[in-house]
A and B are shown apart, each in its own frame.
Chain A
Amino acid sequence: MKRTVCTLAACAALALAGCAGPYADHVSGPGADAVVLMDVRTVREPNSLSAQVTMRNDAGEPLRLRYRFTWLDAAGLAVGAGSPTDAWLSISLAPYEVRYLRATAPSGDCADFRLYLQELD
């Protein structure tokens, strides 16, 4: 009985981890479940930091999303609030289309980013 409980707990933990997904640290919002997140990466170049999130629309219908990148400094504080780089943008994905969302940090002191996705009707 004890072994069964442990197995169930392990399964629940795995299921929860699965829901959060491997990119949950970077991508969130009600639109995150509408796409398949394939890759998240950041690239630091001499004068800039760029992020790219790769996603696929696994549905047979077009998908409209709006998204917003938020940039954080090394202390986790938001950078560039109110800047155009902090604005909402809309995209439309064709059925089964793979899309690469790219953004560049507003300043050199950015260290990480968050992407918020929202599905549009």
Chain B
Amino acid sequence: MARAWALLALALCAGCASTTLVDTRNDVETTVSYDWRDLEAAAAEMAHSILASPRLGGSAARPAVVAIGRVTNDTCQHLDPALLTGRLADALSASDRFVVSAAFGATADATVAQARAVRGDAAFDAASVQARGTLRAPDLSLSGKLTQRNVRRDNGGLRIEYFLTLKATRLSDGVVVWQDSCQAVKAVAKGMPAW
């Protein structure tokens, strides 16, 4: 009898626990967090804005080198800014006006320096080692901040406001040649957990 109850409990648990794959093309659920849809929407807005700006320069003949600088996460959530900057780097790389630097900034690849550190090392074929003076220094730096504000609603709930601001700085003279921002505002009912 005890075994039957155990089997029944196991069957019920198996029935309750289910994992579903989210259809990200048709996902319109709203969450209190700054979730992947907010990141995607922010990256899309910013990418369109960057690509539409003639002040950033760059052309198919000579693409501007962009160093992804620091994007600060000033929210109460654990959120890796690389999720955002990575998507922006996708858009910049797809464009023929820009290339993304792997020698500087958040998207730096340590292999770039390592490949040059072996110059003069007899273990390597000298002809295959990267020559001096081949790296391209960045023309632009992209940096920004994601900020969160919690605003008390009259009904006791909260509005959680997320602001993303990004700017592109022309490194030759330190002038900001592009800046844009976007918001995501979420309303949380009274008693709902928020941070």
A83 near B94: Cβ-Cβ < 8 Å:
yes
Residues of chain B lying within 8 A (CB to CB) of residue A89: 41, 44-45
> In the complex, are the beta carbons of A87 and B43 less than 8 A apart?
yes
In the bound complex, how far is the Cα of B48 from the Cα of A112, in angstroms? 16
Tell me whether A54 is interfacial, beta carbon within 8 Å: no
**Could you tell me the distance between the alpha carbons of A108 and B96 in the complex, rounded to whole angstroms?**
6
Asked whether A83 lies within 8 Å of B54 as measured between CB atoms, the reply is: no
* A45 pairs with B54, CB closer than 8 A: yes
- Are A47 and B60 in contact (CB-based, < 8 A)? yes
User: Which residues of the other chain, A, contact B25 by a CB distance below 8 angstroms?
Assistant: 88
Min CB–CB distance B56 → chain A (angstroms): 9
Size range of the chain B interface in the assembly? 20 to 34
CB distance from B100 to the nearest CB of A (A): 13
Q: Which of B83-91, B133-141, B143-151 contacts A (4 or more CB under 8 A)?
A: B83-91
Q: A87-B40, A89-B44, A103-B48 are in contact. Are A82 and B90 (CB under 8 A)?
A: yes
Q: Which residues of A contact B59 (CB under 8 A)?
A: 46-47
Contacts of B187 in A (CB 8 A): none
Question: What DSSP secondary structure best describes chain B's contact surface?
Answer: helix
Instruction: From known contacts A46-B59, A87-B41, infer whether A104 and B28 are also in contact, taking CB-CB under 8 Å.
Output: no
Chain A residues positioned under 8 Å from B40 (CB to CB): 84, 87-88
B47 within 8 A of A: yes
Q: Is A102 in contact with chain B by the CB < 8 A criterion?
A: yes
Interface residues of B in 45-103 (CB under 8 A from A): 45-48, 51-52, 54, 58-60, 87-88, 90-91, 94-97
Contact of A85 among B37, B44, B60, B97 (CB under 8 A): B44
> B11-38 CB contact bits vs A (8 Å, 1 = yes)?
0000000000000010010000000010
Q: Contacting B94 at CB < 8 Å: which of A47, A80, A88, A90?
A: A80
A46–B43 Cα gap in the complex (Å)? 24
The 10 closest A-B pairs by CB, nearest first: A87-B44, A84-B43, A104-B51, A104-B52, A84-B47, A84-B44, A87-B40, A84-B91, A108-B96, A106-B94
Pick 30 A–B contacts, CB within 8 A, sort by A. A46-B59, A47-B54, A47-B58, A48-B51, A48-B97, A83-B94, A84-B43, A84-B87, A85-B44, A85-B47, A85-B48, A85-B51, A85-B91, A87-B41, A87-B43, A87-B44, A89-B44, A89-B45, A102-B48, A104-B52, A105-B51, A106-B47, A106-B51, A106-B94, A106-B95, A107-B96, A108-B95, A108-B96, A109-B96, A120-B28
Chain B contact residues, CB within 8 Å of chain A:
25, 28, 37, 40-41, 43-48, 51-52, 54, 58-60, 87-88, 90-91, 94-97
13 additional contacts (CB under 8 A) given A85-B51, A88-B41: A45-B54, A47-B60, A83-B90, A84-B44, A84-B46, A85-B48, A85-B94, A89-B41, A102-B52, A106-B51, A106-B91, A106-B94, A107-B95
